[in-house]
A and B are shown apart, each in its own frame.
Chain A
Amino acid sequence: MSTIQETTAETQAATVDAPPKKAMGLGRTASWVMLIILLALPLFVRNFVIFQMTMLLIYGIAVLALNILTGGSGQFSLGQSAFYAIGAYTAAILIEHGGVNYVLTLPAAGIVCFIVGFLFGLPALRLSGIYLALATFALAVAMPQLLKLGVIEHWTGGVQGLVVTKPDAPFGLPVSQDMWLYYFTLVVSLAIYLASVNLLRSRSGRAMMAIRDNEIAASAMGIDLSIYKTLAFGVSAGITGVAGALGAIAVQFVAPDSYTFQLAIALFLGMVVGGVGWLPGSLAGAAFIVFVPNIAEGISKGLSGAFFGVLLFVVIYLVPHGARQGAIYAETLFNKLRRS
């Protein structure tokens, strides 16, 4: 009996290792450099690249949301694509059927997804670890079919999906639609990033991390497990919903085929590659899921999946803790150089 308990404790510790509180964010210099790059780069590249960068930010938000759930509270979800889809459809339906301004659809999508996530989180609480992952996985698999249901077809456009109008820059600003949408997304991402870092540094964040590290100890300290676990689920779902809404606006189209469980796997992958529990790594993870398939395809069309697998394997093998490990390595190198 005791051995079993020990091994489970060990595996838990291994799957989600605990980054110290300070390591949740980036150093000050690195943050500014990153911000300047993100602000300046679009001025020098083509619209197509700007679009890719917008998608990078959007997936970055979605990966960050999963990171709060897994890295923050230690729960697994393979169902993020479902919340992403709900957010996307909320935005698309509000814009196309309701004539709502696209800016307002983001909080709407966030709130809808928060509620759905919270409600889904309630029963799912009784599950832990891989069982919760499977329950959410079921949600991801069911979602594309639910979107096709005849009852709501009038709203969702059924299998044909919905086309979303792309917003122009406001106040007659002389920038292209793509550039405007990029900076808009950047502002939203920064707001979400700062809020998330603060959340994890706050009382609630500490409570979540205590649950992640040891549930029994956390409850002994007086932390209400169910509230904090569902809260983490709801917040994660809500942020994913905002990402989905942004995605719908950027891609200008929603359809059930856009939100299959492959998206959920991709987001999970992004989190692992970026470093579990390290929020800035979300961007690196998003870069992996946006650009590496293109690289793999460039190597071979027929075997793109296999090459993607090889590249993933290389990353996991060389830097098992994802981009965080790379960042720590870079930091020590930088400090060494400064000292010498």
Chain B
Amino acid sequence: MPVIKRPAAVISAALIVLATASSAAFAQKKYDSGASDTEIKIGNIMPYSGPASAYGVIGKTEAAYFKMINDQGGINGRKINFISYDDAYSPPKTVEQARKLVESDEVLFIFNSLGTPPNSAIHKYMNAKKVPQLFVATGATKWNDPKDFPWTMGWQPNYQSETRIYAKYILEHMPNAKIAVLYQNDDYGKDYLKGLLDGLGAKAKTMVVAQDSYELSEPTIDSHIVKLKASGADVFMNITTPKFAAQAIKKIAEIGWKPTHFLNNVSASIGSVIKPAGYENSQDIISAAYLMDAADPQWKDNAGMKAFDDFLAKQFPEGNRLDGSVMVGYNVAQTMVQVLKQCGDNLTRANVMKQAASLKDYTPTNLLPGIKINTSANDFAPIEQLQLMRFRGERWVLFGKIISGEIGG
């Protein structure tokens, strides 16, 4: 039997073994509830029924996208289990469904739940439970608050930054403009309005000559348009959802009002707004965008648009190509997959949040060229850039530089 003569060597050898063992332990897979070697459970809440059910298609698009990812082998070998519930856009129901997802289904996190009131209702709960509420489908400004709500993150550019961009443009090119604003009387409309007034700053009082709001339940907004025309404004700020935006464009042409027309991105869809309102009535409308419009012929040969069409044809044939919501769902799902890829084998809730806050120049397939997703520990606003565009002929023509509308910037 060989006698060990040098105990120091033995100890150091033992230490080395120990060190490798522990570093191997660090590289080992780490999970919170909702993740395992074979599966990642993702929760989602959508208004499949009720007044906002038109947006339910976002959830269906995401389900189709995740199914495609699973068919391709999943993420790092794990299949996505996408559990999506209906809240009918009613906040008390959202609370019930979120609790079901977190406490009963035990999902790893909740992804892309839709609407400002529903997400507000679970904001506090999710942060108290320390379960990520990722890429919420609303443009309210309050989701970018990593200090007070480190478990919540938005995705799309916030509403305020868009109207701030318009305000910047107006101040620069039309310093003497008289602005008339029409907005929807809810969280979305008021957030947009606030961005505009903040963006105009001290001049808001003199420049905004008329403000009018309408309710989502009104059948037509014609009377509002007539009233705003009477204010003598030469700039029209159109903060309306698609149905009303089309009505407004038509009515303005009908009564022969010729203001510089700013149309919010929510209603910039050619398929559901411009075409029904008539191309001839829509010339020279200014808007802003961050995603490609599937109805816009200029993207016909774009690789990203081809990927989108391919996805629709093979995975989601019932999806309406011209519906902007499908495009949103397709791209936000890509962002989610990117975050999960970055997580590797460390699928804890803390790491999911950390990786979501470490996106560097990431571009899903259909962002406008030049717009990139960037997040950091202090910046929970993934998309902050937009580009202005003007309607010419039968398509949007992008102009100017990519503009960042960061709040406080």
Contact = CB atoms under 8 A, between A and B. Distances in A.
Chain A partners chain B: yes
B50 A262 contact: yes
B92 A301 contact: no
A260 interface: yes
Interface in B122-178: 123-125
Contacts of B92: 55, 247, 251, 253, 258
A258 B117 contact: yes
A272 B104 CA distance: 31
B104 A304 contact: no
Contact of A160 (B50, B51, B116, B124): B116
A305 B89 contact: no
Nearest to B101: A48
Judged by DSSP, the binding face of A is helix
A301 B186 CA distance: 27
Contacts of B103: 46-48
A163 interface: yes
A145 B99 contact: no
Contacts of A155: none
Contacts of B123: 163
B91 interface: yes
A158 B185 CA distance: 10
Nearest to B142: A160
Contacts of A161: 91, 117, 120-121
Given A46-B103, A159-B190, A148 B185 contact: yes
A251 B49 contact: no
Given A47-B103, A48-B99, A160-B120, A260 B90 contact: yes
A162 to B, nearest CB: 9
Contacts of A260: 51, 90
B266 to A, nearest CB: 16
B215 interface: yes
B96 interface: yes
A257 interface: yes
Contacts of B186: 148, 159
Given A47-B103, A52-B96, A262-B90, A255 B120 contact: yes
Contacts, number: 94
Interface in B28-66: 48-51, 56, 59-60
A139 B386 CA distance: 42
A251 B116 CA distance: 16
A255 B99 contact: no
A297 interface: yes
A20 interface: no
A257 B89 contact: yes
A301 B48 contact: yes
Contact of A48 (B84, B104, B120, B185): B104
A133 B17 CA distance: 80
Interface string A56-70: 000000000000000
A138 to B, nearest CB: 13
A51 B96 contact: yes
A202 interface: no
A161 B217 CA distance: 19
A302 interface: yes
Contacts of B91: 161, 251, 253, 255, 257-258
A297 B88 CA distance: 11
Given A48-B100, A145-B215, A159 B187 contact: yes
Interface in B65-100: 84-86, 88-93, 95-96, 99-100
Interface of A: 46-49, 51-52, 55, 141, 145, 148, 158-161, 163, 247, 251-253, 255-258, 260, 262-263, 293, 297, 301-302, 304-305
18 contacts: A145-B215, A148-B185, A158-B190, A163-B120, A251-B91, A251-B92, A253-B92, A253-B120, A257-B118, A293-B88, A293-B93, A297-B48, A297-B85, A301-B56, A302-B48, A304-B49, A304-B86, A305-B49
Interface of B: 48-51, 56, 59-60, 84-86, 88-93, 95-96, 99-100, 102-104, 116-118, 120-121, 123-125, 185-187, 190, 215, 217
| 3 residue pairs, one from A and one from B, having the closest CB atoms | A48-B103, A253-B121, A159-B187
Given A148-B185, A253-B124, A257-B118, 11 more contacts: A46-B104, A47-B103, A160-B117, A252-B121, A253-B95, A255-B117, A255-B121, A257-B90, A258-B117, A293-B88, A301-B59
